[in-house]
Amino acid sequence: MIQLSIDARKCDEARSHAKNIVDSLKWLISDYTSATIERTVLRFLGIDGAVGETPIPNIIVDHLISKQAINRGAAYWVANAMARLDISAQEVGERLASDKIDLTSLQSAGDEKIRAILDKLTDKKLAKIRKQREFREHTLRKYGGRNRPALYLIVASGNIYDDVVQARAAVSEGADIIAVIRSTAQSLLDYVPYGATTVGFGGTFATQENFRIMREALDEAGAKVGKYIFLTNYASGLCMPEISAMGAIERLDIMLNDAMYGILFRDINMKRTLLDQYFSRMINAYAGIEIQTGEDNYLTTSDAIDKAYTVTASQLINEQFAILSGVEHDKMGLGHAFEINPNIEDSLSYELAHALLTKALFPNCPTKYMPPTKFATGNIFKTYLLNAMFNFISQITDQGVQLLGMMTEAIHTPYLADRALAIENAEYVFNAARNFGGEFELKKDGFINKRANQVLEEAINFLERVSHKGLFTAMQEGEFADIKRSENGGKGLGGVFKKSEDYYNPVMEKMKLELGI
Amino acid sequence: MTFKIDPTHIKPYGDTLNDGRMQLSFSMAVPADEQGKEAARLLLKKIGFDNIDLCYYKDIGEGFTHFVAYASTKVSIDLTSIHVKTIDTPVMSMEETDKYIAEHVGREIIVVGACIESDAHTVGIDAIMNMKGYNHRYGLERYKYFEAINMGAQVPVESLLAKVREVDADVVLVSQIVTQRNIHIKNLTKLIELAESEGLRDGRVFICGGPRISHELAIELGYDAGFGAGSYSTDVASFIAFQMAEKEK
């Protein structure tokens, strides 16, 4: 691979600022919990299903919030009710929904008994997740690992059964990773819908049933072509940890899971998002799920040259948040994008410099490279050409995951043939340039080295400034993507709670222990 | 070589006048063999194409085949009979628009914008309304003579109209990016119908925008204007300025 000349001390400097930014928020993570974190714990106890549109985990957590008892953690109250009433966790939820029992007015069964109940249930679920992880690792070894760059394709029909047909076709054409696009409306739902989606707009809901249906289809399709096919969904929005938990149980392999995306681009409260992402990523780490971050979003409305440093800065912050949750580098799919205006002279040199910088900073991460979208105009022929350039840069810089560009970007969600042509494009370019990058050395003081160093320098200055102000203040002042968000604004703040002295989260405690964090 | 083009009988042009040649590309659930190829050829024939040249086909999995073809159409079009609705007000810079509003309207224009219903993609409405705008054109927030209220994503039309009533907005700006199963048409229709029934349509400028929206479609749906792909804040701002000036007359 082509090597940049970058001063290792500069990389360390950038990292230490990012670490300061993240470390200064440890108080939030240790002292607070959220509605979706508590619902996640309930899912780990085996509680599932819905009454009408309302999932049972929501019914229980809402009940505890209304009784001002959530600060102790939902696990305690459910386990106590199980002991006192001699019923299962699921039955606690069902009884609450039908008989309106009050979980907080039952006499305490005693800490020892409650802990024993919680240990048993969480151990069972954690064992299931470990088994899923082992299955993935075993199958992957059997077939000989994943291609690099891996071909990542999306399905977005809005009907999970149509998605299955399209995903199978993509696998037979050479896809390594299938991402099921999530309905745009889900990010702001403070619950996870239940059941299979057959009529969605701009995607399907992330539901456990949809996960199960696609997992089964991909295992089958993968066996046919002798590959383990990675399944991707979105642990983002107001239910990050719940979606991760469902993904862990149903063996998803990759989750879009950015630390700050919800705050900036969906106006979700910053405390809520940072709490949720912490637990969500911990679950992903435990389940061996690769996370992906959304740095490409910084470039969809801002200039990809002027604001290149925001991508680098966000990658470094995302890395530190991931480390805090126990995510290993080989599971950090930090994002970046090929979004420079193609009319600019030497745009390819800029793209190469930026792609190399990401690679130099995160050599052991399966970096996620996003295709051109901003300058995909509807001229499918030109877009196909841009995608070839994008594939070329990815191959010679050894990116981890190639999110294939569609020539019909900006027109419609991909058609069958769009996907097949995108794969043909990537396979040709990857093969043609397989060892091409290894043949070249960059001029030490040439344009590409200078440019990469300049972006790093700008990122360092930016991170130093944010570290000085603190992340919350920086976001308030619009330092990220020119979007201003306030500490107590945005959606979901009502679902943030201070933990009491006797707060207990059996899932998080066990995971922290096993992950060594 | 010279030839005369007859505007009343226009046909696609490949390399010979009125040869009617067109590029076609599609996939079908037919096998990638002679039978499938014949199916594709017959389909094109049934549509009305002649001289069908099925130049490429490939198995793309799950029983589907992708075809590329060239064929000639017999159909022609009379250009002189086509009249399209377009926005023909000139486009001014931010400074010119502010000056124009100061002179012709003489007060701040209140604009309420949103990405309505299930649509969560704010990139369009943000590019038009937010301070920083897009591609070196500032958004409406930056203008002196606009009070721009961007309600963001997934705003129910009821909430949007409640805001319109509350601030007595002059202009309503809606963005629709997702167009799967024509959801954008349903959402835009819902807004205009509700606005009419609540008496909020008259006297206000309603504008919609999005990559698949044309001015023609917007007019058809009952809007004053529609802005499609490639539109900037300056296009929208200038249109509003002229429209408001017209109303103030």
Confidence (pLDDT) at B1: 54
Q: Does pLDDT of B2 surpass 70?
A: no
Q: Does A410 contact B152 at a Cβ distance shorter than 8 Å?
A: no
The verdict on residue B240 lying in a domain is: yes
Position B68 in a domain:
yes
User: What residues of A are in contact with residue B131 (Cβ under 8 Å)?
Assistant: 482
Is residue B157's pLDDT more than 60?
A: yes
Which of the two residues, A215 and B131, has the higher pLDDT score? A215
Q: Which residues in B lie closer than 8 A to residue A172 (C-beta atoms)?
A: 61-62
Mean per-residue pLDDT for B15-25?
95
In a domain, B85, yes or no: no
Q: What is d(CA A74, CA A495) in angstroms, rounded to the nearest whole number?
A: 13
If asked whether residues B138 and B112 sit together in one domain, one would say: yes
DSSP assignment of A97-141: HHH---GGGSPP--HHHHHHHHHHHHHHHHHHHHHHHHHHHHHHH
The domain boundary, picked from B33, B49, B79, lies at: B79
Mean pLDDT, residues A36-65? 96
What percent of chain A clears pLDDT 70, i.e. is strictly above it? 100
* pLDDT, average across residues B164-184: 91
Residues 6+ apart with CB under 8 A from A418: A406, A407, A408
Which pLDDT value is given to residue B132?
77
Give the Cα separation of A6 and B245 in Å (integer): 58
pLDDT digits (tens, 9 = 90+) for B180-211: 778 899 999 999 999 999 999 999 999 999 98
Query: In sequence order, what are the residues at sequence separation of 6 or more whose Cβ sits closer than 8 angstroms to the Cβ of residue A2?
Result: A352, A356, A396, A397, A437, A438, A440, A441, A442
* Burial tier of A6 (Cβ tally within 10 Å: 0-12, 13-18, 19+): middle
Backbone angles phi, psi at B7, to 5 degrees: -65, -15
User: Do residue B55 and residue B130 come from a single domain?
Assistant: no
Question: What are the tokens at A350?
Answer: 């800029």
Which of A202, A301, A378 comes nearest B123 by C-beta? A301
* CA gap A176, A247 in Å, rounded: 18
Peptide linkage before A55 cis (omega within 30 of 0): no
Q: Last residue of a domain, which of B79, B104, B129?
A: B79
Q: CATH number, domain at B44?
A: 3.30.30.60
Inter-residue contact B26 to A417 (CB < 8 Å) = yes
- Segment A115-170, tens digit of pLDDT: 999 999 999 999 999 999 999 999 999 999 999 999 999 999 889 999 999 999 99
Chain A residues lying within 8 Å of B62, measured CB to CB: 165, 168-169, 172
- Same domain as B169, residue B47: no
Q: What is the mean pLDDT of residues B21-46?
A: 98
pLDDT at res. A302: 80
> Residue B200: which CATH number?
3.40.50.280
Judgement on whether residues B136 and B75 belong to the same structural domain of the protein: no
Q: Identify whether residues B68 and B174 lie together within a single domain.
A: no
> Are the C-beta atoms of B246 and B225 separated by less than 8 Å?
no
Is B16 within a domain?
no
**Which residues, 6 or more positions from A402, have their beta carbon under 8 angstroms from its beta carbon?**
A149, A150, A151, A152, A369, A391, A394, A426
Is residue B228 domain-shared with residue B113, that is, in the same domain? yes
Task: Find tokens 């029983």 and name the residue.
Answer: B63
Angle, helix A240-249 to helix A270-287, in steps of 10 degrees:
10
DSSP 8-state code for residue A176: S
Q: Does residue B154 sit in the same domain as residue B226?
A: yes
Helix A447-469 vs helix A8-23: angle between axes, to the nearest 10 degrees? 30
Domain-embedded: residue B109:
yes
Q: Tens digit of pLDDT for each residue in A464-495? A: 999 999 999 999 998 998 888 999 999 999 99
| Nearest Cα to Cα of residue A492 among A295, A266, A314, A322 | A266
Chain A, 295 to 354: residues with Cβ < 8 Å from chain B are 300-302
Return the amino acid letter for A54: T
Nearest one of B27, B25, B24, B26 to B62, comparing CA atoms: B27
Query: Per-residue pLDDT for A370 more than 70?
Result: yes
Alpha-carbon gap, residue A291 to A103, rounded angstroms: 36
Nearest one of A366, A458, A318, A436 to A145, comparing CA atoms = A366
How does the average pLDDT of chain A come out, rounded? 96
The mean pLDDT value for A337-358 works out to 97
B115 touches B125 (CB < 8 A): yes
Domains of chain A: 29-122 (no CATH), 146-447 (3.20.20.440)
CA neighbor of A201 nearest in space, from A183, A179, A181:
A183
In this structure, are B239 and B169 located in the same domain?
Answer: yes
Chain A residues touching residue B118 (CB < 8 angstroms): 183-185, 201-202
For residue B84, is it within any domain?
Answer: no
The mean per-residue pLDDT over the stretch B235-249 comes to 92
Active site members of B: 132
Instruction: Flag whether pLDDT at A39 surpasses 90.
Output: yes
Check whether B76 has a pLDDT greater than 60.
yes
Interval A372-390 mean pLDDT: 95
Query: Of B55, B79, B103, at which residue does a domain stop?
Result: B79
Q: How many domains does chain B have?
A: 2
B49 and B105 in a common domain: no
Query: What is the extent of the structural domain holding B190?
Result: 94-248
B65 in a structural domain: yes
Integer Cα distance of A452 and A353 in angstroms: 5
Residues B151 and B176 in one domain: yes
Q: What percent of chain A has pLDDT over 90?
A: 91
DSSP secondary structure code for residue A302 in this structure = S
- Asked if the Cβ–Cβ distance from A165 to B61 is below 8 Å, we say no
Q: Which of A1-5, A137-141, B127-131 has the lowest mean pLDDT?
A: B127-131
ipTM above 0.90?
A: no
**B229 and B148: one domain?**
yes
In 3D, which of A273, A206, A298, A261 has the Cα closest to residue A35? A273
Number of other residues whose CB lies within 10 A of the CB of residue A227: 21
- CB contact (8 A) between residue A168 and residue B27: no
Q: Please indicate, yes or no, if residue B11 is contained in any of the structural domains.
A: no
3-state secondary structure of A195: coil
Q: How close does chain A come to B66, measured CA to CA in Å?
A: 6
Same domain as B112, residue B73: no
**Record: contact A416-B131, CB cut-off 8 A:** no
A217-230 pLDDT per residue, tens: 999 999 999 999 99
CB of A337 within 8 A of CB of A299?
yes
Confidence band, pLDDT 50/70/90 cuts, at residue A300: confident
Q: Establish if A263 touches chain B: CB-CB under 8 angstroms.
A: no
